[in-house]
């Protein structure tokens, strides 16, 4: 038995890691975006503040980016770097993407805390 894995086994491992990163990316993007967009989806009192732009454009694009960016970063990084360095690059890109999203995307939030449901 050889200590070094075959090229086919290495390709399968890299593909499996890419798929895992896609699933984790969608989960993290959803966990980040859906609570922020909940007021725009619910619409508040009598749905007067429902924002269809957030529902139909912003959230799907954020989830799509969470699905696509981590595996593409992994694929690009593994071409030139070792796998452990590629993981660090993926974490850095994901952190920068979430930071950029937090700086750019501000969906409507609920009114001030004194305004709430009636009696």
Write out pLDDT tens, residues 15-27.
888 899 999 999 9
Write out pLDDT tens, residues 16-65.
888 999 999 999 999 999 988 887 887 777 777 788 888 899 999 999 99
Average pLDDT, the chain: 84
Write out pLDDT tens, residues 86-96.
889 998 999 99
Q: Is residue 14 part of a domain?
A: yes
pLDDT for position 116: 57
Q: Is residue 1 part of a domain?
A: no
DSSP label at residue 49: T
Q: Is residue 75 part of a domain?
A: yes
What's the structural domain count of the chain? Answer: 1
Q: Is residue 56 part of a domain?
A: yes
Q: Is residue 83 part of a domain?
A: yes
Q: Is residue 77 part of a domain?
A: yes
Half-sphere exposure of 15 (CA within 13 A, CB side): 6
Task: Report which of residues 70 and 113 the model is more confident about.
Answer: 70
Best CA proximity match to 67, nearest among 40, 97, 39: 97
Instruction: Say if pTM beats, i.e. exceeds, 0.75.
Output: yes
CA distance 37 to 108: 8
Q: Is residue 81 part of a domain?
A: yes
Distances (CA, A) of 38 to 42, 59, 99, 100, 101: 6, 10, 20, 20, 16
pLDDT higher than threshold 60 for residue 11 = yes
Q: Which domain holds residue 37?
A: 10-102
């Amino acid at each position: 038995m050889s200590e070094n894995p075959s090229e086919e086994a290495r390709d399968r491992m890299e593909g499996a890691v890419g798929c895992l990163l896609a699933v984790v990316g969608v989960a993290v993007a959803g966990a980040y975006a859906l609570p922020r967009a909940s007021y725009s989806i619910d619409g508040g009192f009598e749905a007067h503040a429902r924002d269809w732009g957030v529902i139909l454009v912003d959230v799907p694009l954020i989830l799509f980016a969470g699905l696509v960016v981590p595996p593409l970063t992994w694929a690009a990084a593994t071409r030139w770097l070792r796998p452990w360095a590629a993981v660090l690059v993926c974490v850095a890109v994901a952190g920068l993407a979430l930071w950029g999203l937090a700086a750019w995307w501000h969906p409507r939030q609920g009114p001030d805390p004194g305004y709430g449901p009636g009696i």
